[in-house]
Structure 1
Amino acid sequence: MQTEEFTVTTTDRLDKLVAETVTTISRSQAKSAIEAGQITVDGATLRPKDKPKVGATVNIALPDPEPLNAKPQDIPLDIVYEDDDVIVVNKPQGMVVHPAPGHPDHTLVNALLYHSPLSSINGTLRPGIVHRIDKDTSGLLMVAKNDHAHHSLSEQLQAKTNLREYVAIVHGNFKEENGVINAPLGRSPKDRKKQAIVADGRPAVTHFRVLERYGDYSLVACRLETGRTHQIRVHMAYINHPVAGDPLYGPKKTLKGAGQFLHAKELGFKQPTTGEQLDFTAPVPANFAEAVHRLRLQAGLPVDKAI
């Protein structure tokens, strides 16, 4: 049983108070727990919309979550490279990287476990996963097949010696040809589903350069110096060039697609055992290429140039 309590300091709906105070509980989870009688106020059961008085004590008693274990599943993989230590995979847009509440299976990890043993450092939910990309971002990931490789790849990430470059279609036209965004990231104080630029956040640096201009949109390359959650998406929105199709950080009026137009195109690292430099490139998916084709036509640019 998971128990917690807090004192009400402001007047608001109970479900909202719980979600804003207890960061591990979403508002929908708080609503369900209140309705199940697992959250009480001064010993009384209220409704999610009720507003407890300031000074009241909220008690939370939630059952322990069901343990999640990633299980092997026979799901097709686009493997770009593989040796005894590492797998480089081109993840399709729409695939979650590892199991989590709401996504217990059919993830990249489930597919990888069916294909090969993976490192055990991240436990049963994220075996082999050294870095992640968002569900609706496509492109290259390096995956560790053993603990030795996992340590090596993690150290390379911390030392910032990896190459991780993305291409993105973003809103707006740029005055500059390139630039560096250095702005710390952390959880948004207004929306727990989002990341935001916050003064006490973790350091985050993104280098960008403009590849093509289409008037209302631009094609850019973004190289990660750090790898924070949603880093490119938040940083590009921060400089008023949000990624097209981004449902969290972009405008509603945008390019049609099944998520943000963001693709992890280039990946480079040293092979964990031999030290050999390995570099890989993955072509953008069909929907990304089609969007660039349409934008080039509208802008009067050559359409047969490689992205």
Structure 2
Amino acid sequence: MESIQHIIQENEKGNRLDMVISGLREDWSRSQVQQWIKDGVVTVNGTGSKPNYKSALGDEIDIQIPDPEPLDVEAEEMNLEVYYEDEDVLVVNKPKGMVVHPAPGHLSGTLVNGLMAHCKDLSGINGILRPGIVHRIDKDTSGLLMVAKNDMAHEKLVQQLVDKTVTRKYSAIVHGLIPHEYGTVDAPIGRDQKDRQSMAVVNNGKNAVTHFRVLDRFKEFTFVECELETGRTHQIRVHMKYIGFPLAGDPKYGPRKTMDLGGQALHAGLLGFIHPRTEEYIEFSAPLPDYFEELLTQLRNDR
């Protein structure tokens, strides 16, 4: 069992307890935190609480993360595109359309199922449905993910995400012509109050920062590189919509009339981090998938 303590700071007071806790680590989902609170493994000033408790300045939060339960998800043989692997870390190139981890009622066909068949050991810190998963990318986003093969690696990789020392660069095609060459979107992201299935820029959301630069412009679209400073759910998709340039093909955040790409044109092409054991910086890049290259060719030809 892992024990974590946290004192509520000025910028956190008034926020829901589950929101504060899920913001402490990028690999903690809000639903997971809510379950911990309901199970009584989270205390506030020594007593139990509720997920919607409004945090007060100086509150002492104690989290006793339970040991992982035996995994009830089956291993499935898959042709995973592994870019790097050693005793601690695995880097895999996830294809578009693949879900990262199982969910209740959907326990097969995910990256985790494939990882379980590929290697015997995965970190258990993230529980029975997310073994080894340190960070996620959306189902219809392709690209590189780092996976922890033991708890030591998991803790060190998560700390790098907290410290914002992981390099994560994405290629994207967005609607509209971005007039400037570089930009930064610094806007908090949280659950959309009008649509609970979506995220949005909201006043009480989690800190979120995305840097971008223009790579090419076409008639009605712009090819950009986005670099994550934080890693919130749907961050690039939400931020680019927020500044008026939603991703092409995005059924959730894009305009009604967008390209039929089977999901957003977004690829996690570059990933760099400090190796948890050797402490050397390592970096990997994955080429754009075929559909993305074909789309760029079409846009260039139409220009």
TM-score (norm 1): 0.75
Superposed, 1:171-182 pairs within 5 Å as 171-182=175-186
SS for the counterpart of 1:233 is helix
> Take 2:150 and 2:171, find their aligned partners in 1: how far apart are those partners?
30
Alignment partner of 1:95 is 2:107? no
Pick one of 75, 83, 87 that aligns with 1:84.
87
Report which stretch shifted further, 210-219 or 247-256: 247-256
- Aligned residue identity for 1:187: R
- Aligned residue identity for 2:101: H
Instruction: Give the structure 1 partner of residue 109 of structure 2.
Output: 106
Alignment partner of 1:158 is 2:162? yes
> Take 1:104 and 1:118, find their aligned partners in 2: how far apart are those partners?
17
Instruction: Give the structure 2 partner of residue 148 of structure 1.
Output: 152
SS for the counterpart of 2:204 is coil
Instruction: Give the structure 2 partner of residue 264 of structure 1.
Output: 268
Query: Which ranges of structure 2 fall in alignment gaps of 5 or more residues?
Result: 1-29, 32-69
Specify the structure having the higher radius of gyration (Cα): 1
Instruction: Give the structure 1 partner of residue 74 of structure 2.
Output: 71
Superposed, 1:103-252 pairs within 5 Å as 103-116=106-119, 117-252=121-256
SS for the counterpart of 1:201 is coil
> Take 2:149 and 2:285, find their aligned partners in 1: how far apart are those partners?
21
Deviation of 1:71 after TM superposition, in Å, equals 1.7
Deviation of 1:102 after TM superposition, in Å, equals 4.3
- Aligned residue identity for 2:212: F
Alpha-carbon deviations, 1:200-253, whole Å to 9, x = none?
000000000000000200100000000000000000000010000001000121
Alpha-carbon deviations, 1:34-53, whole Å to 9, x = none?
xxxxxxxxxxxxxxxxxxxx
> Take 2:242 and 2:188, find their aligned partners in 1: how far apart are those partners?
11
Alpha-carbon deviations, 1:252-288, whole Å to 9, x = none?
2122311100000000001110011110000111111
- Aligned residue identity for 2:263: G
Conserved? CA contact 1:180–1:205, under 8 Å: yes
Conserved? CA contact 2:181–2:213, under 8 Å: yes
SS for the counterpart of 2:161 is helix
Residue correspondences, number:
235
- Aligned residue identity for 1:219: F
SS for the counterpart of 1:113 is helix
SS for the counterpart of 1:234 is helix
Deviation of 1:68 after TM superposition, in Å, equals 7.8
Query: Which ranges of structure 1 fall in alignment gaps of 5 or more residues?
Result: 1-22, 25-66, 300-307
TM-score (norm 2): 0.76
The CA RMSD over aligned residues, in Å, is 1.4
> Take 1:178 and 1:103, find their aligned partners in 2: how far apart are those partners?
40
Conserved? CA contact 2:219–2:302, under 8 Å: no
Alpha-carbon deviations, 1:89-109, whole Å to 9, x = none?
000000000001342211000
Conserved? CA contact 1:68–1:104, under 8 Å: no
> Take 1:171 and 1:107, find their aligned partners in 2: how far apart are those partners?
30
> Take 2:204 and 2:74, find their aligned partners in 1: how far apart are those partners?
38
Alpha-carbon deviations, 1:34-86, whole Å to 9, x = none?
xxxxxxxxxxxxxxxxxxxxxxxxxxxxxxxxx98322111110001111110
Conserved? CA contact 1:96–1:103, under 8 Å: no
